[in-house]
Structure 1
Amino acid sequence: MFADDAAVRHVGEGLLARSLPKAEWTHEAHLAACLWLLRERPDFVPERDMPGTISAYNQSVGTENTDSGGYHETLTQLYIKGARAFAGTLPEGTSLVGAVNALLESEIGDRSWPLCFYSKERLFSVEARRMWIEPDLAAIAD
Structure 2
Amino acid sequence: MSDLPFRPFADDAAVRRVGERLLARTLPRPEWTHEAHLAACLYLLTERPDIDVDARIGDTIRTYNASVGGVNDDTQGYHDTITHASVAGVRAFLKTQPSGGLADRVNALLGSATGRRDWLLRFYSPERLFSVAARRAFVPPDLAPLP
So what's the TM-score if we normalise by structure 1?
0.96
Q: Does 1:13 align with 2:20?
A: yes
Question: 1:41: which partner in 2?
Answer: 48
2:77 alignment partner, one of 48, 60, 70: 70
CA–CA distance in structure 2, aligned partners of residues 25 and 90 of structure 1:
24
1:102 alignment partner, one of 108, 112, 125: 108
1:118 alignment partner, one of 124, 127, 134: 124
Q: Aligned-residue CA RMSD in angstroms?
A: 0.7
Q: Give the number of aligned pairs.
A: 140
The one-letter code sitting in structure 2 at the alignment partner of 1:37 is: L
The one-letter code sitting in structure 2 at the alignment partner of 1:102 is: A
Alpha-carbon displacement from aligned partner over 1:111-134 (angstroms, at most 9, x marks no partner): 000000001110000000000101
1:23 alignment partner, one of 14, 21, 30: 30
Structure 1 residue 91 displacement after superposition? 4.5
Q: Which runs of 5+ in 2 are unaligned?
A: 1-7
CA–CA distance in structure 2, aligned partners of residues 104 and 49 of structure 1:
23
CA–CA distance in structure 2, aligned partners of residues 74 and 47 of structure 1:
12
1:131 alignment partner, one of 137, 143, 146: 137
Identity %: 59
Alpha-carbon displacement from aligned partner over 1:21-74 (angstroms, at most 9, x marks no partner): 000000100000000011110011111110000000000001100000000000
Q: Which runs of 5+ in 1 are unaligned?
A: none
CA–CA distance in structure 2, aligned partners of residues 83 and 45 of structure 1:
15
CA–CA distance in structure 1, aligned partners of residues 84 and 114 of structure 2:
13
So what's the TM-score if we normalise by structure 2?
0.93
